[in-house]
Amino acid sequence: MLNHPTTSTTIRGIPVTVINTRPDIDTSAVLARLERVLALLERAVPHYYRHLRRDFAMIRVQRYACRGAYFPHEHACMVELTFAVNPDFSDAQVAASVVHEAMHARLHRLGFPLEMSDRARQERFCRRAEIELGMAVPGGGPVIERALYILENADDVDVAPVIDERLAAARVAQVDKAALADPAWLRRAAKYSRE
């Protein structure tokens, strides 16, 4: 089994663990992004921020098949590693994922069931929190647009899809293998050699 670098720290009073399985990703960039995201949430939606500090035992950053997830048995918010550092996504978009999972944590702490039969309703609740965040931050348009699109166009199955964990893990591994076979620095160097 591979031993991947794991970094644990505390950001704004919240324990954070980064499991960095990608040598092409700088863990300090992940931590800097989380610092900005949590600061943004504290400023823009302080009521949600106070709840998430109580409802999350930790934030874990790791490779995964979606942007974020809430792991109820650990009271943990998961933020996907490559999403966390991708410059194509703004701090507001990463913050929307955190606030979305914070809503799941809030509902879980309040005793709402986690069964899939109630997931679509809960997902819609989480998307409304994303919209509230998007309206409160500069550059929140993409957050609002994505949440509204899902709310307006998805049926219950699409709002809360069931994820095949084995298939998802296989796809993540395939993407990682391709990324590491053709690292970003090599693509940049090749671009310069053609100029």
Give tens-digit pLDDT for 113-172: 776 566 778 888 999 999 999 999 999 999 999 999 888 876 654 555 556 667 666 676
Examine residue 166 and state whether it is found in any structural domain, yes or no: yes
Residue 45: domain span: 6-186
Examine residue 45 and state whether it is found in any structural domain, yes or no: yes
Provide the 10 A C-beta neighbour count for residue 141: 13
Give tens-digit pLDDT for 61-81: 999 988 999 999 999 999 999
Examine residue 194 and state whether it is found in any structural domain, yes or no: no
The model carries a pTM of 0.81
Q: Please provide the size of the chain in residues.
A: 195
What domain count does the chain have?
Answer: 1
| Sequential DSSP letters for 136-179 | HSTT-HHHHHHHHHHHHH--HHHHSPPP-HHHHHHHHHHHHHHH
CA distance 107 to 126: 10
Give tens-digit pLDDT for 90-118: 999 999 999 999 999 999 999 887 765 66
Examine residue 191 and state whether it is found in any structural domain, yes or no: no
Examine residue 1 and state whether it is found in any structural domain, yes or no: no
CA distance 53 to 98: 11
Examine residue 193 and state whether it is found in any structural domain, yes or no: no
In this structure, the strands spanning 6-11 and 14-19 are antiparallel
| Spatial CB neighbours of 147, under 8 Å, sequence gap ≥ 6 | 96, 127, 128, 130, 131, 134
Examine residue 117 and state whether it is found in any structural domain, yes or no: yes
Residue indicated by tokens 């050699």: 193
Examine residue 147 and state whether it is found in any structural domain, yes or no: yes
Q: Which two tokens stand for residue 1?
A: 């089994």
The confidence score (pLDDT) of residue 119 equals 76
